[in-house]
Amino acid sequence: MTMDPRPSAAADENPFFETWNTPFGVPPYGRIRTEHFLPAYERAFAEHDAEIAKIVSQTEPPTFDNTVVALENAGRALERIDDVFGHLVGTDSTDELLAIERDISPRSAAHQAKIEMNEALFARLDALHQKRDSLGLTAEQKRVLERHHTRHRRQGAALTPDKRKRLAEIVERLASLGTAFSQNVLADEQSYTLVLEGEADLAGLPDFVRDAAKAAAVERKMPGKHVITLQRSSVEPFLQFSSRRDLREKAFRAWIARGDGNNKTDNKALIAEMIALRAERAKLLGYPTFAHYRLDDAMAKTPEAVRNLLETVWKPARVKALADRDEMQEIIREEGGNFALAAWDWRYYAEKLRKRRCDFEESEVKPYFQLDRVIEAAFFGAQKLFGMTFKPVDVPGWHPDVRAWEVAGADGQHLGLFFGDYFARPSKQGGAWMGTLRDQEKLSGNVRPLVLNVMNFNKGEPTLLSFEDARTLFHEMGHGLHGLLSNVTYPTVSCTSVLTDWVELPSQLYEHWFEQPEVLKKFARHHKTGAPIPDELLDKLMAAKNFDRGCQTLEYISSALVDLDLHLLQSADGLDVNAFEKKTLDRIGMPEEIVMRHRPPHFGHVFSGGYYASAYYSYMWSEVLDADAFAAFEETGDIFNPEIAKKLQQNVLSTGGSRDPAELYVAFRGRLPTADALLKKRGFLDAA
């Protein structure tokens, strides 16, 4: 980055004004303080503006180098600050950081919009785009040019000045609303605790749930108590095992009401305004609805294609879920209960149904899924498939719990660093995600990535995971492999910079390896005895892989359909978010005993930012791909088949967004997939 030649105390003290001479160039977290961010942003905004001005003020005709490459190199200082600040807010927020986020989020959005709407810059890109086939570009260069042209066009660069002005106002306001939305959800999660008083309140809870609740109480300065929080890793096991129906209802109602409390952290008005602004944005850009705008730059292309996939899977999933519901109601009757199964009962009676149908309980398998061994299993899969090795390293981290590994490829060469931040804490946003502190690229040298995985597991001695928790770890590791194995030249198409409904293919595909007996027999070992998981228990686990899959599928698809329907609105006048949710769920026949995985008031994927807006369907779109992709390995009789693994690395994991996804998939598999593999994977073929 360009250094300010003028010496100052602030420059000497602010790490963002320096080259980082830390191991592997990781951020110097021990020196970064809250007060460093705003001055760093101010300088980076100005520097980025100057870089763009230099590009557009050239008198020379546009070339790939003087326009596209220059654009690729612009804003590097800003990106470095964004990467550090964004993940700190997500993983270890403070009131001071959240205040900066409220300030900087709309300013960042306005800054980016100003560049992407720059008429002179777009004119240079458009001139190159029109003659792209005669420029002698490589396939990657042509794709990079296309992505820049598409991004600027979709941000309104070709609009009239008055429309560009209005669009910039919309983008800035949406950024403020998204920040407020996510901070409201975090505030609701931080403020709620269900304190369990004595043995009666702990009834039915196995030791690992009690231990986690005790640790959560200590973390909240309530020693000697047991506390359930609204973190998914806390509340879901409580709903699964607590025999106290009254407490299950209390925790459940608080959980689904995040962002819906009719108080200062209520998100419904924010959602209505976001929907209205997104609809206006789409109309300005010539699309009938925001969903049409969003999906035009995705593999799916149209809302109709999305709805067709979701409804194809919805029907057999609903049949499965209703059958499970009826069996659970029968268990209630047999036990002498005179109440109808409710949503807060589902997980509790599903556990009883699993015991009856599959002859095992979650508590029987959890002792075999120790966090460290599951991490080892994820590394083992990467080694077997791609020759990767992971060596622990001591580098600066943003929290004492953070761990780091140096990653090498099959040739022994350095691939990058991998960070794991696995434990829940009050300062961390819920969920699990992959991110980068630096992306791979070759434009400014052989730059290797800094990749991170973030989870929210309950910390224990040792930390034991559920089967779903362990699968989540593999999911995020799949994203991590996508980042670590990236091998492109240009930052715009590096790592996970791909279309939304392609980005989940590597992550969901990697989940398959966790479910394989070959992996489980090696790494699923009892945390006390070290004994491998018994064959009998493993067989039961494999036979029960699709247990409760009907409910899980309805939870997901209902969220995706409500997302789609909201963004198909042409107007949000008088939008009552809760009434709209109910109308959509009634239309599709959502069983009243099941709730959406993410209700709109806490649907961060869609409303904390725009990445998954109209695109939450992407997980299922990618699942069509991942089910078919794993079948490529199964068809050879070797789940680690080296030839298939090589094709996967060459055509999916290393390519980033450098080629069209459909082209990449055909290069890997020889054809495009159908939904049959997905229906088979979820156990729905017999119900279709």
- As annotated, the active-site residues are 476
The pairing of strands 450-457 and 194-196 is unpaired
Alpha carbon separation from 541 to 92, 361, 636 (Å, rounded): 36, 9, 24
The single residue listed with the structure tokens 């326009």 is: 67
Q: How far apart are CA 602 and CA 613, in angstroms?
A: 13
HSE at residue 54, side-chain half, CA atoms within 13 A, is 14
Of 401, 392, 328, nearest to 92 by C-alpha is 401
Strand blocks (E) in 570-630: none
Q: How far apart are the first and last CA of the chain?
A: 57
**Run of H or E including 434:** strand 433-438
The pairing of strands 403-408 and 226-228 is unpaired
In 3-state terms, what secondary structure has residue 415?
Answer: strand
Are 42 and 81 in contact, with CB atoms under 8 Å apart?
A: no
Are 501 and 298 in contact, with CB atoms under 8 Å apart?
A: yes
Are 171 and 110 in contact, with CB atoms under 8 Å apart?
A: yes
Task: Convert 484-508 to b/e letters by CB count within 10 Å (16 or more is b).
Answer: bbbbbbbbbbbbbbbbbbbbbbbbb
Of 123, 112, 110, 166, nearest to 283 by C-alpha is 166
Class of residue 91 by CB neighbours under 10 A (exposed 0-12, middle 13-18, buried 19+): buried
Of 396, 402, 456, 404, nearest to 426 by C-alpha is 456
CA angle in degrees (0–180, nearest 5) for 566-567-568: 95
Are 497 and 503 in contact, with CB atoms under 8 Å apart?
A: no
Token pair of 454 as six digits = 């973030």
To 10 degrees, what angle do helices 232-241 and 207-219 make? 140
**Run of H or E including 268:** helix 268-284
DSSP assignment of 220-264 equals TT-TT-EEE-SSHHHHHHHHHH---HHHHHHHHHHHHTTT-SSST
Q: What is the CA radius of gyration of the chain?
A: 25
HSE at residue 596, side-chain half, CA atoms within 13 A, is 24
Contacts of residue 627, defined as CB under 8 A and 6 or more positions apart, other chains included, come to 673, 677, 678, 680, 681
To 10 degrees, what angle do helices 371-386 and 467-484 make? 40
Assign 3-class secondary structure to 321-381.
HHHHHHHHHHHHHHCCCCCCCCHHHHHHHHHHHHHHHHCCCHHHHHHHCEHHHHHHHHHHH
DSSP type of residue 688 = -
Of 556, 28, 86, nearest to 313 by C-alpha is 556
Contacts of residue 392, defined as CB under 8 A and 6 or more positions apart, other chains included, come to 403, 404, 405, 406
Q: How far apart are CA 592 and CA 659, in angstroms?
A: 44
